[in-house]
Amino acid sequence: MNALLAFSRLVDALNQFVGKAVTWLTLVVVLVSAGNAVVRKVFHTSSNAWLELQWYLFGAIFLLAAGYTLLKNEHVRVDIVAQKLPQRTQIWIEILGVVLFLMPACVLIMWLSWPVFVDSFVTDEQSSNPGGLVRWPVKLLIPVGFFLLVLAGLSHLIKCVAFLMGKGPDPRERDRGKTAEEELAEEIAREAQAREAAAHGSTQGGR
């Protein structure tokens, strides 16, 4: 088990590195999108290469960060029933979910997408749009992204088994206390309270 936990830590470090690097792509996408919009509105022209780069980067963010999302337990869960079960039962559900659903789906997508990438690479497939980009790099993102997700799934599986053996914490615990959804809900509530306070102040001032 110690060797498996060491492998799990190595996988987590890899996905952590990839996830942190991919977050910077979000800034790049914003800049590229803003640049495309400005050029189109101001100069009345556009570039297919820059437009395609925009969705290439979006695809990279979505695919390469999937393993990081699983590592941080920020993926969507539908556990209305499971959360009422004992903790060990919940972990067994996690294990079954990884083995029966996550792994088969990811491996199948990797297996189906790899020949598509190879064919695109061998033929040096180009965009059908004038001035567009080469296609094989974006197609490579599919097997690579799901490979990282498979590794994250294996790491999660190892940590689940370690928890059942009393050799590790609950792998579903997040690094921070609140989820992104909870923080968003609190931010919306604060904005609503601020608007109510402003409206109340305007009413008092008008009297």
Q: Concatenated DSSP letters for 71-126?
A: HTT-S----TTGGGS-HHHHHHHHHHHIIIIIHHHHHHHHHHHHHHHHHHHHTT-B
Rounded distance, CA 66 to CA 21, Å?
13
Question: Between 81 and 115, whose confidence is greater?
Answer: 115
- Give the mean model confidence (pLDDT) for residues 192-206: 70
How many structural domains does the chain have?
1
- Give the mean model confidence (pLDDT) for residues 90-114: 91
% pLDDT > 70, the chain: 89
Rounded distance, CA 70 to CA 25, Å?
19
Cα dihedral across residues 131, 18, 184, 95: positive or negative: positive
- Give the mean model confidence (pLDDT) for residues 45-70: 86
188 inside domain: no
182 inside domain: no
pLDDT digits (tens, 9 = 90+) for 148-190: 999 999 999 989 888 888 887 878 776 555 556 666 677 888 8
Rounded distance, CA 39 to CA 43, Å?
5
Q: What is the pLDDT of residue 93?
A: 84
The per-residue pLDDT of the chain, averaged, comes to 83
186 inside domain: no
201 inside domain: no
- Give the mean model confidence (pLDDT) for residues 37-61: 83
Structure tokens belonging to residue 48? 């297919």
- Give the mean model confidence (pLDDT) for residues 125-137: 83
101 inside domain: yes
Rounded distance, CA 16 to CA 68, Å?
6
CA atoms within 13 A on the CB side of 101: 6
- Its pTM stands at 0.75
179 inside domain: no
